[in-house]
Structure 1
Amino acid sequence: MRPARLGVGIVGAGNVGPVLAAALAGAGHALVGISGGGDRVEVMLPDLPVLDVPTIVERAELVLLAVPTDQLAGLVEGLAATGAWQPGQLVVHTAAELGVEVLEPARAAGAIPLAIHPAMAFTGTSLDLTRLRDAVCAVTAPAPVLPIAQALVVEIGAEPVVVAEADRADYAEAVALATELGERVVGDALARLAAIGVERPVRLLGPIVRSSVERALSRAPSHPEADTIGDDLEDRTWTP
């Protein structure tokens, strides 16, 4: 059975928030509002109300905090100071570096803290919805509510991988290293080919880059038990 249908509020209108909101809506959840507007939001989430953050938190059963990492702690603490968090409310952040400790002010008010980070580069467009189905999401949560985080990830089509609170910094560093190194090396190679007049350098390098990455990934240790986690979670039920 699918998890209960939730009213979802989104805080953050950058590349990540609207995409995850659209994915949750596609899974059957109801969107109650987002904290910012703009062309990206209008395209991804047409007719979704733009609301202030306190109103979103007041109306939502699941609050998605898709804000820069350095803004997260202050946002959570500020809302706690005004008594905004509600018992039983799901509070999800998407910062790679942080687990659920940053959500402690919300948890102290009775909310359920979840950390979910999709390991992919977001463009903020509908292309991300397709890429999300091939992505893995790092999930961190207190043990009793970990299945909730895992089920939400499965619902949006991704695969959940549990990362312990103490390991989030190492996880974030690994993701950043792979992203930044790949972009820097490929960008430099493309620039060199363009400088010597090679036509369609992307066409030339594309197969090389993809095959090199696939070869590197094929040499990594595998964990067969991870392949069945989605099947196991689809039959679970939960209530916030």
Structure 2
Amino acid sequence: MVSTSPYRRIGIIGTGRVASAIGHALAAHSNDSLVIWGRNPKKCAEAVAVIGRAQTAGDMAHLARDCDLIMLAVADDALAHIVAALAQTEPSYQPRFIFHVSGRSGAAILDPLRSATSMTAAIHPAMTFTGKPTSEVKHMINARFAVTGSTEQASAAAQKLVALLGGIMVPIEEAQRALYHAALCHGANHLVTLIAGACQALATAGVAEPSALLAPLVRAALDVSLNQGMAGLSGPLLRGDDETIAKHLAALSQQCPTLLPPYSAMALATLDQLERLHGEGQASIIRWASLEQKL
């Protein structure tokens, strides 16, 4: 019987959430069961159990020798060390595709693994992984995957892989990987900090369920900002309402002082955006300059 699976055997280095979720998605696309290697045997066993059609690799050399698709799903700071260790294993003369899922790094970090038979690429899923692989496999459908290939052939191989996951490939140049990743962290990670601070202030104000109160407002603001950008802004900064902002600053200073610096920083950033977009009129410049002095 001839298998229709695109890969002979898939190897995964790493045992975290991303490794488990993508491994779970790829398990059906490998002729043989996946092999997983990690420094912690307990976490390896847990990843194998989550993925299902998988087994633990005896060592990294075993994985490197037997697999034609190798995914490196380790922490950003550990990636270079893993690449160096993998490069010390016996060279493979069989065609293989090696990729990592780090957002920060491009394909260049994998250069020690490139050869006439080994293609390399960076493939970063632009989504949050929460430790629920089954639902995350569904979330990968139509999700964007930032791809930086070491060659055009490697980019084509990455596109094939992303398609298997149901995702959409977004090419990112090597030199732009750090900026790309900073944008994602600013938009997603800092959003968590922003919401947590707002909930803290609401709790201090006596609101019993801050997240329930915020949810409809925040979801609407997120939708309008994704669709309209700064054109979707509303509130006292847009109106130039000095007295309202002054009262905000006083209340935060007295009752929630830890929120005052981020509030002021975000307000100033918002005014900068407004001035760039709409500051041609003299009245607008004067109005927003007055607010900046308070902040």
The answer, yes or no, to whether TM exceeds 0.5 is yes
User: In the alignment, does 2:132 pair up with 1:130?
Assistant: no
TM-aligned CA distance change 1:3 to 1:100, over 3 Å: farther
C-alpha separation in 2, matches of 1:12 and 1:84: 21
Q: 2:221 aligns with which of 186, 208, 212?
A: 212
Q: Is the 8 A contact 1:27 1:156 kept in 2?
A: no
Q: CA deviation digits over 1:61-84, x for unaligned, max 9? A: 100000111211221122222334
1:80 aligns with 2:117: no
Seq. identity, %: 30
Matched, 1:90 2:97: yes
Q: How many residue pairs end up in the alignment?
A: 219
**2:31 and 2:195 mapped to 1: Cα distance?**
39
3-state SS of paired residue (2:78): helix
Larger radius of gyration: 2
Question: TM-score, normalized by length of structure 2?
Answer: 0.68
TM-score normalized by the length of structure 1: 0.82
Worse overlay, 16-25 or 72-81: 72-81
Instruction: Identify the match of residue 176 of structure 2 among 167, 175, 179.
Output: 167
TM-aligned CA deviation for residue 146 of structure 1? 1.3
Q: CA RMSD in A?
A: 2.2
* More deviation, 75-84/159-168: 75-84
- Quick check: 2:141–2:165 contact (8 Å CA) kept in 1? yes
| Residue type at the aligned position of 2:69 | L
Report SS of the residue matched to 2:114.
helix
Aligned residue in 2 for 1:155: 164
Higher helix content, 1 or 2: 2
1:230 corresponding residue in structure 2: none
The residue type equivalent to 1:185 in the other structure is L
- Which of 195, 217, 236 lines up with 2:204 in the alignment? 195
Higher relative contact order (Cα pairs below 8 Å, separated by 6+ residues): 1
* Distance in 2 separating the partners of 1:206 and 1:84: 53
Question: In the aligned structure 1, how far is the partner of 2:228 from the partner of 2:46?
Answer: 39
- Deviation string 1:117-173 (CA, Å, 9 cap, x unpaired) is 001121121332222224211011111231210121121111110111111111111
Q: Name structure 2 gaps, 5 residues minimum.
A: 230-295
